[in-house]
Amino acid sequence: MDSRALLDLLLLVDSGLPTGAFTGSNGWEAAARHGWLRDAHDVDTWLRGLVEDQLAPLELPALARATRASTPWDADALLDRFVVVAAQREESRRAGRRLLELSGYRPRACHRAAATGWLAGRSGIDARTACAAHAHAACLGQAQTAVRLGVCGGDEAVAAVRAVAPLIARAADHAASGRIRPRLAARMELAGLLHPALPAPLFSS
């Protein structure tokens, strides 16, 4: 990867980019308030769940598909079909829209992973690298949230992200083909039946 492509990738996945994604808590406030997240061990468990249950089965394969596509819309439609919680879906599509706008394209609602993958592909970044960077940035952002909530310290947050790095690498390797895990559809369907609506405040702050 040349230096220009690397800089483009770092910009795309930076949690400080003003896409509005920083307002999405992914349930951390509620989890901390209910005592489900109390220390660095809980943060490590949460991050592993994020990678294994959210990123690896769906988000990363969709992102990988987008890197090779002429537009991000097929990957966006795929994500929109399976993202169960409406508040998460809206937050993701709002952030992706802003990401497209910041990159000089016509703003249109688009899941962040689809927008990230498509923009990465246009910069010459391969699917595996884009998946790994996206997952690492997601985990780092979640760990930073844990620090802000007082669940763990900064050093512990960094250690938690480093601990899941091998898991992220394996997930990126598997996701690079763009293949969705076959059990995903049934699991998401069940989740939709169990949680037809969850309060938006659980997922935004």
In the chain, what are the domains? Answer: 34-196 (1.10.4190.10)
CA 71, 75, 76, 78 dihedral sign is: positive
- Tens-place pLDDT, residues 90-126: 888 998 999 999 899 999 999 999 999 999 999 999 9
Q: Is 109 left (phi over 0), alpha (psi -120 to 50) or beta?
A: beta
- 3-class DSSP assignment, residue 21: helix
Residue 22 confidence (pLDDT) above 60 = no
- 3-class DSSP assignment, residue 107: coil
Q: What's the whole-number average pLDDT of the chain?
A: 84
Closest CA to 134 of 50, 202, 24: 50
Between CA 185 and CA 145 the distance in angstroms is 29
Residue 71 confidence (pLDDT) above 50 = yes
DSSP label at 106?
-
pTM of the predicted protein model? 0.85
What kind and span of H or E run contains 89?
A: helix 86-102
Residue 193 confidence (pLDDT) above 50 = yes
CA 48, 118, 5, 97 dihedral sign is: negative
